[in-house]
Amino acid sequence: MSILNQQFSTPFNTAPFSKITNEDFLPAFKTAIEKARKEIDAIVESKEHPTFENTIEALEFSGQELDRISSIFFNLNSAETNDEIQKIAQEVSPLLSEFGNDITLNEALFKRIKTVYDSEPKNLSEEQKTLLDKRYKSFSRNGANLPDAKKGQLREIDKELSKLKLKFGENVLAETNKFEMLITDENDVSGLPEGAKEAAKQLAESKGKEGWMITLDYPSYIPFMTYADNRELRKKLSLAFGSKAFKNDELDNQDIVIKIANLRFKRAQLLGYKTHAHFVLEERMAKTPKKVESFLNELLEKAKPAAEREFANLENFSKDLDGIDTLQKWDSAYYSEKLKQKLFDLDDEKLKPYFKLENVINGAFTVANKLFDLNFEEIDTIDKYHEDVLTYKVTDNDGNLVSIFYADFFPRAGKRNGAWMTSYKPQYIQNGKEERPHVSIVCNFTKPTKSKPSLLTFNEVTTLFHEFGHALHGMLANTTYPSLSGTSVYWDFVELPSQIMENWCYEKEALELFAKHYETNEVIPMDLVNKIKESATFHEGMQTLRQISFGLLDMSWHGQDPSDITDVKKQELKAFSGTKLYPDVPENCMSTAFAHIFQGGYSSGYYSYKWAEVLDADAFEYFKEEGIFDKTVANKFKEYVLSKGGTEDPMVLYKRFRGQEPKPEALLKRAGLIER
């Protein structure tokens, strides 16, 4: 039997990475799936009348071995992968998907769950009520209550949707890959930073061409739109980018967009919901499309005057600088960057010496200690999956174990880009025994060199604090059930703990704890901190308006009956009418390439980016009112937000912490959109 199918005999029951081989995974998964199946069968075949304990709770604690193996395997596939692991992932994913469907479509199991749900058992705690509701909905929202004929329709819709979403993405990718702009005159790349020029030259060479190659991939597109002096070429690139899958050819997505919107609407109606947005938002803090629309419109009302002022300033600036009569979309990034450089003399290279990685890590730990009484001790007694990983034992002030914490900071070949928080083991209580969580953060920061330690950009500092905020949400979990523990919360609530932690990076009182020059130990000068703060709100009105416009477009497709929509561009112009700053470009259409909502998981959810910002700004305002290290506020945040996971409705938890619903004023003040 694989080591993965046995109880770990390791310190703190941590994953025995050094003893696990790739060959262990596939047999371990198959064994664990079989065990989990038997646990489900035992629930279904029980002769006892269904109760919360013998059905809902039993289901919650089934498949623990499978969950543990999945956590280890898929975390390695992100942080320390190789061809072999990726191949195993291709084999394992369908097995897990099939097992998941076997549970959701198990009629006998659903019958037991429904019996418990319909009996409305008394004496359940809030957490138990939430678990019962969540478990029932996970079946009913996937059609378990439908008669067989409608179940068949639902499967057909889902099949068709999955094909259309795939085709949508394939068309956007093909359009992106198809476009190439070869520049042969060096004057036409004037303004581009050396690094971007070098990359463009290398790309041209790799395709056997002379000159500089610009494409629609972000690392090529963004620098050109931001720095290239040639306005005509910026226009050409912008038109190509904005017209993806909108050319009435074989890669056109207009019909696909309309079909996806209509199928989603049909699916929602089949399940008894008014629209797709009503279906999605039932499981979000916002609850209803009406609430989302009023939220977006309230922000719009506040942000629009600031956005119009910023736009007028940008128009005047471009006119004075280059005699531009009408500012177009392809001028936006270019003149914004020029204006930003004029207003703020801020260079990342000046800041980096104050942000040595070790100091920033200790800064995050000190902030967590001052707020939540956590102590971090680096230990070398537990297994790691790579030598770069740092391991910590986290305790409270009484010496009790809170969590095991892994931190993995540097890029390497087997690690995907970006930064994320994850978990190897959740917190939960079973049979009166509590299991504490094993939490990890993974980032990609600059490695130390022979002459210099790892020095972070300010953006990397906020990234570290952001992921550490997610980690605190996992570490401080204090619930009974693993599926409601830590970060297992609504989509529009999960970013609150992470985004709020970023705020300490801008506060003098916090920066003095860790922002010290790596050679002289001098604390970061406040004029640099002020410049960071000032530049953070640059063009915030226009940025906010842009995000609102995307949210409104999303709701226009999903918050109503789309069956009368025949013209994608016309529908888009209607949705954008209240947020328009730049002249419309007839050749461009956003919906046909809006992968977030038509291919990814953000349909009816694009608003949540701004929603989470409102929560974090409002929550941090409370800290600022009482003091950024105030213990009373920190204890309330720990008690009602960080420790409760998904055990209750997040708005109920937030109101317990704050005493009121979040107001957008704090975000608008922080963004400089209304007077402080």
* Residue 46 domain-assigned (yes or no): yes
| Pair (221, 130) in one structural domain | no
Report the CATH number at residue 583: 1.10.1370.10
| Pair (302, 366) in one structural domain | no
Contacts of 38 (CB under 8 A, 6+ apart): none
Measured CA to CA, the distance from residue 215 to residue 375 in angstroms comes to 48
Measured CA to CA, the distance from residue 228 to residue 191 in angstroms comes to 5
Residue 433 CB-density burial (10 A; 0-12 exposed, 13-18 middle, 19+ buried) = exposed
* Residue 525 domain-assigned (yes or no): no
* Residue 666 domain-assigned (yes or no): no
What would the 3-class secondary structure string for 322-385 be? HCCCCCCHHHHHHHHHHHHHHHCCCCHHHHHHHCEHHHHHHHHHHHHHHHHCCEEEECCCCCCC
Domain final position from 242, 264, 285 = 242
Report the CATH number at residue 126: 1.20.1050.40
Tokens describing residue 559? 């918050």
Domain final position from 586, 606, 626 = 606
Measured CA to CA, the distance from residue 233 to residue 224 in angstroms comes to 9
Measured CA to CA, the distance from residue 427 to residue 482 in angstroms comes to 6
Tokens describing residue 341? 């450089």
* Residue 554 domain-assigned (yes or no): yes
| Pair (333, 439) in one structural domain | no
Considering the candidates 65, 80, 293, 467, report the single residue annotated as catalytic. 467
| Pair (122, 186) in one structural domain | no
Angle at CA 552, nearest 5°, toward 547 and 556?
150
| Pair (377, 291) in one structural domain | no
Length of the chain: 676
The values of phi and psi at residue 401, to 5°, are -70, 130
The range of the structural domain enclosing residue 202 comes to 179-242
| Pair (392, 478) in one structural domain | yes
| Pair (428, 362) in one structural domain | yes
pTM of the model: 0.84
pLDDT of residue 90: 82
Contacts of 32 (CB under 8 A, 6+ apart): 4, 5, 63, 65, 66, 69
Tokens describing residue 41? 């069968």
* Residue 595 domain-assigned (yes or no): yes
Domain final position from 217, 242, 267 = 242
The values of phi and psi at residue 569, to 5°, are -65, -45
| Pair (118, 13) in one structural domain | yes
Per the listing, tokens 């009406």 go with 290
Measured CA to CA, the distance from residue 38 to residue 445 in angstroms comes to 45
User: Which residues of the chain carry a pLDDT beneath 50?
Assistant: none
SS3 for 274? coil
Measured CA to CA, the distance from residue 253 to residue 233 in angstroms comes to 26
Structural domain total, the chain = 4
Tokens describing residue 466? 């952001």
467: annotated active-site residue: yes
| Pair (362, 451) in one structural domain | yes
* Residue 209 domain-assigned (yes or no): yes
SS3 for 102? helix
pLDDT of residue 270: 95
pLDDT of residue 173: 84
Give residue-wise pLDDT tens across range 645-661: 999 999 999 999 999 99
Measured CA to CA, the distance from residue 461 to residue 448 in angstroms comes to 16
pLDDT of residue 347: 66
pLDDT of residue 673: 81
* Residue 464 domain-assigned (yes or no): yes
| Pair (331, 355) in one structural domain | no
Give residue-wise pLDDT tens across range 569-599: 999 999 999 999 999 999 999 999 998 899 8
565: left (phi over 0), alpha (psi -120 to 50) or beta: beta
Tokens describing residue 73? 């395997």
| Pair (324, 355) in one structural domain | no
Measured CA to CA, the distance from residue 301 to residue 310 in angstroms comes to 15
| Pair (7, 117) in one structural domain | yes
pLDDT of residue 627: 97
Report the CATH number at residue 447: 3.40.390.10
* Residue 626 domain-assigned (yes or no): no
pLDDT of residue 477: 98
